[in-house]
Amino acid sequence: MLHPFTNNKFTNLPTLFKMKKYIAFLLLTAVFPTVTCGRLSADDRTFSIGKNLTIFNAVFRDLDLLYVDSLKYDKMTADAINYMLSQTDPYTVYLPEEDTEDIAMMTSGEYGGIGSVISQRNNTIYISDPYEGMPAQQNDIRAGDIISAIDGVSTEGMTVSDVSARLRGTPNTVINLQLKRYGEENPIERTFMREKIQVKSISYSSVVADRTGYLLLNDFTDHSAIEVKQAINEMVKQHRIRSLIIDVRGNGGGLIDEAVKIVGYFVPKGTAIVTTKGKEKSSERVFRTPSEPVYPDMKLAVITDRGSASASEILAGAIQDLDRGVIVGERTFGKGLVQNIRPIAYGGHLKVTTAKYYIPSGRGIQAIDYSNRNEDGSVGRVPEHLTSEFTTKNGRKVRNGGGILPDTLSNDERTLNIAYYLYADNLYFDYATKYKHEHPSIPSPDLFELSDADFDDFTAFIKEKNFGYATQTEKYFNELIEIAKYEELYNRIAEDFESLKAKLVPDIDENIKENKDDIVQLLTTEIIKRYYYQKGEIAYSLRTDKDLKIALDILHSEEKYNRILSNE
């Protein structure tokens, strides 16, 4: 029962490739009528599947026998399967044998390797985000280091997947890396042992105000509940916290059982948290809290955003439905589908949606209706008028069909300005690499401030890099001009078009001044990561976090907290 991390989509493909996919789709919709066979009787389904498999086998064999060129059997079959599954939902996917390790990573967060995120740019693979306390960081491998060779094998021409496969391996095996580092003339060599890497579910926890704890929960793997309990216990022991903020922003989900256990720390034993229902009787299950609550009286706030999905929504939704705490932030993603991973032939696996889930009030939160596609195959959100009203434990009104709507709703006020184009061009990353080389240390994340001299130096740096960009407005305007020319309208108002076009070209110097605050925040975040890693990045971001401030304000006011949770 997992939230998906990847999806196979077939868009923006060359015409010939699209044609091949379409042929495969025609074959497989005949072979596996998955959308409609649920309405057939068991006997009819068995006959239909057998009949169409026979047709598919006949087509495949004759194609192999008669087609003028040789066929790539494995690729054709995988493409056909993937296209078939794309007609269900984005979470039902085929995982071939070579992805078996990724399955273990999904459920446990564990793998053998060096403990770093890698990226690719300009045909080079580089370290982008080493994890604190893990082999890469402990052996002084830094963000920005280019990986030129692994165990004596050059990485030239390799993809991220190729390099990742070589970096991963059995724990306690030796690995040798050759690196190129900014500011160093000679290559750097590091030899060390791979280790079992367990990515923690909680990347940060701290007391953020008087007797108020905070924890950032990244996912729901098989050790998440234990991590949450340990983090809370530590804050209770050290600081006697009475209130807790659980941040699930960007948390894509994971194991349902772990979400249920976490909710169980705050509500009575045996409380129904989520119910799953599907086609098969075996998919119907009620998940109840397994133990007595550890923190029955602790005040709670959960912070969500549009990236909070699946198990995150179960946690937030159950807390809301049971009136056990307040929800702050953005409306969640709206993924109310449950997946199981099933082994299939030759080492592969099928991750398949087997059920929908419903939280304590009885509502489902699935926002997109994959069962009713438009004629072009697209899908849309469940319309508001088709949703239903439910009530929480205290009688508050909530609705289904659109994720979890927070009790205190905030909006993303960010705009697409020059600050984000600088980010897309990796200029914050590159400058932070330079900054780290020139500054051996900086103050702690709660004290560090980017100076005006640093900002001016960054401005000079991006000019040296010949930074320039075209806004989305400019791109769409150029398309409008082409359409106007095609419709023979352009010549009538050509002067107006050209005048407006000139005004849409960004004034980089002016845009930098106008958006200095956003630039400073993003640049400071990247610099702090070089010295204090992920924890430093989070600690800095919380200094100006609006949703955190709202949550604290509610938790520190009995009147506000109780008013939200009561049916008044």
DSSP classification of residue 97: G
How many helices and strands in the chain, by DSSP H and E? 18, 21
How far, in whole angstroms, is CA 58 from its chain's centroid?
A: 41
Q: Please give the model's pTM, rounded to 2 decimal places.
A: 0.84
- Give the per-residue pLDDT at 533: 96
Q: CA 452, 453, 455: angle at the middle one, nearest 5?
A: 65
Residues 291 and 159 in one domain: no
SS3 state at 462? helix
* Residue 169 and residue 155 share a domain: yes
Whether 101 is covered by a domain: the verdict is no
Query: Does a structural domain hold residue 427?
Result: yes
What does the pLDDT read at residue 25? 44
Does 5 map to a domain? Answer: no
Rounded CA-CA distance 476/501 in Å is 11
Closest CA to 408 of 298, 327, 339, 295: 327
Domain of 484? 472-504
> Is 300 within 8 Å of 243 (Cβ atoms)?
yes
The total of structural domains in the chain comes to: 5
Residue 343 CA to residue 545 CA, distance in Å, equals 43
Instruction: Confirm whether 105 is domain-assigned.
Output: no
Rounded CA-CA distance 49/422 in Å is 53
Average pLDDT over residues 456-477: 92
Is residue 424 a part of any domain in this protein?
yes
Residue 540 lies in a domain: yes
Q: What is the mean pLDDT of the chain?
A: 89
Give the lowest-confidence range in 109-113, 136-140, 235-239, 437-441.
109-113
Mean pLDDT of the 1-17 span: 38
Asked if residue 482 and residue 392 are part of one domain, the reply reads no
Confidence of residue 11 (pLDDT cuts 50, 70, 90): very low
pLDDT tens digits along 495-512: 888 899 888 888 999 999
The answer to whether residues 377 and 495 belong to one domain is: no
Residues 259 and 276 in one domain: yes
Please tell me the least confidently modeled range out of 257-271, 372-386, 389-403.
Answer: 372-386
Task: Report the CATH number at residue 155.
Answer: 2.30.42.10
Query: What residues are labeled active site?
Result: 310, 321, 335
Long-range contacts of 81-87 (CB under 8 A, 24+ apart): 81/28, 82/8, 82/10, 83/10, 83/21, 83/24, 83/25, 83/28, 84/24, 84/25, 84/28, 84/29, 84/31, 84/32, 84/34, 85/8, 86/8, 86/9, 86/10, 87/25, 87/29, 87/34, 87/35, 87/377
pLDDT over threshold 60, residue 7: no
**Does residue 442 share a domain with residue 361?**
no
Q: pLDDT higher for 387 or 353?
A: 353
Q: Choose one of 375, 394, 412: the last residue of a domain.
A: 412
Q: Give the tokens for residue 210.
A: 């008087």
Using the predicted structure, report yes or no on whether residue 33 has a pLDDT greater than 70: no
- Do 276 and 346 share a domain, yes or no? yes
Q: What is the mean pLDDT of residues 271-300?
A: 94
In a domain, 451, yes or no: yes
Looking at the domain assignment, is residue 562 inside a domain?
no
* Together in a domain, 476 and 544: no
185 and 274 part of one domain: no
Q: Are residues 426 and 460 in the same domain?
A: yes
Please indicate, yes or no, whether residues 349 and 450 belong to a single structural domain of this protein: no
Is the domain of 234 the same as that of 379?
Answer: yes
